[in-house]
Copies of this chain bind each other. A is one copy, B any other.
Amino acid sequence: MDTPFVPSTIEASPHPAAGEQPLELDMEELQRHMVVTRRIVRAGQYLYRNGQPFHALYLVHAGFLKTCELSEDGREQVTGFRMRGDMMGVESIGLAVHTCDAVALEDSQIWELPYPPVLNACLHIPELQVRLSTALAEEIRRDRSWMLAIGTLPAEQRVAAFLLDLASRLARLGFSARHFILRMGRADIASFLALKHETVSRALSHLEQLGYISVLRREVKLLDVRKLGNCAGMPCTIQ
C-alpha cells in the first residue's frame, strides 16, 4: 500500500533523493566559501516578496512553496511550485530587488546562499557554476513547457498534465507518484494553469468520473496513469 505524502512536520524526503546528485555534496565545500544559513518559513509566510532586496539564492530542503508573478495593476499569476532540491530566487539574478513573491504553502526549510559569494565560489568550484547555470536553464525549460501546455491544451488536459508533472517530481524525491496530497488550493492550480478554480474543480471531478483518478479534497490517487498521460498529450513519464 502506498503511503500518501502527508508530512505534518518539516521533514525531507523519505529516501535520500534517489537517482539525483545529492544536494549535500556541495554543501561542505560550499560552506568554505560562504555562510550558508538555514531558514524556516511557516505556511503562508513569504520567503521573499516583490520589491525586497535580492541578496541570496535559496535551496529548498523541505516543504513546499509557490512563486507568484505580479503586475503593477494588481493582477497576479502563480508561475510555479517548488519542493525539495529546487532552487529559488534565480529569476532575480542581475537585479537589486526581487520581482516576484515566494510563499510557503506548508512549513518549509530553506538553505540561504548569499548571492555575491555564490558567484565568487563559482570561480573556485567549477562544478557549482555548472550546477547553477543548469538550474537556470532548467527553469527556462520548465516555464516554456508550461507555456506550450497552456497555449495548446484545453482545460481538462492541462489539469491532467499538472497532476502527472507533480507526480513525477514527487517520485524523483522518493515519494509515491500514485497517491499524494495537494499542498495548494484549487485557486493556485487554476492560476498556474490560466484557468478559474471552478474549472479546475470540474476537470478533477470529470477525470475521477472517467476513472483516471480519485480525488477527495486535496488527496489525489492516480488510477490510470497511461490514460491520464495520453489525455495530457504526453507519453507516460512516471513508473
Binding site for B on A (CB under 8 A): 69-73, 75-77, 79, 90-95, 99-100, 119, 122-123, 126, 129-130, 132-134, 136-141, 143-148, 150-153, 191, 194, 233-235
Given A75-B148, A119-B130, are A141 and B233 neighbors across the interface (CB < 8 Å)? no
State whether A136 touches B140 (Cβ < 8 A). Answer: yes
Rounded to whole angstroms, the CA-CA distance of A144 and B130 in the bound complex is: 23
A144 x B147 contact (CB < 8 A): no
- A15 shortest CB reach to chain B, Å: 24
Closest 10 CB pairs of A and B: A94-B134, A93-B137, A136-B136, A151-B194, A75-B152, A77-B148, A143-B143, A69-B148, A77-B151, A91-B140
Considering the chains assembled together, what is the distance between the CA atoms of A139 and B136 in angstroms?
Answer: 9
Interface of A is mostly: helix
Query: Do B140 and A233 touch across chains, with their CB atoms under 8 A apart?
Result: no
Q: Which residues of B contact A153 (CB under 8 A)?
A: 75
Whether B234 and A71, one on each chain, are in contact in the complex, defined by CB atoms closer than 8 angstroms, is yes
Specify which chain B residues have a CB less than 8 angstroms from the CB of A72 in the assembled complex.
233-235
C-alpha gap A79/B141 in the complex (Å): 11
Could you tell me the distance between the alpha carbons of A192 and B139 in the complex, rounded to whole angstroms?
A: 19
Q: Determine whether the beta carbon of A152 is less than 8 Å from that of B71.
A: yes
CA of A119 to CA of B140, assembled, Å: 19
Nearest Cβ distance between residue A189 and chain B, in whole angstroms?
12
Q: Which residue of B lies closest to A91 (CB)?
A: B140
Least CB separation from A194: chain B residue: B151
A144 touches B79 (CB 8 A): yes
Give every chain B residue within 8 A of A194 (Cβ-Cβ).
Answer: 147, 150-151, 194
Distance between Cα atoms of A77 and B150 in the complex (Å): 9
How far in angstroms is the closest Cβ of chain B from A102? Answer: 12
Q: Can you name 30 A-B pairs with beta carbons within 8 Å?
A: A69-B147, A71-B148, A71-B152, A71-B233, A72-B234, A73-B233, A73-B234, A75-B153, A76-B148, A77-B148, A77-B151, A77-B152, A79-B147, A91-B137, A93-B133, A93-B137, A94-B130, A94-B134, A94-B138, A119-B129, A119-B133, A122-B122, A136-B136, A136-B140, A139-B140, A140-B143, A143-B144, A146-B147, A147-B194, A194-B194
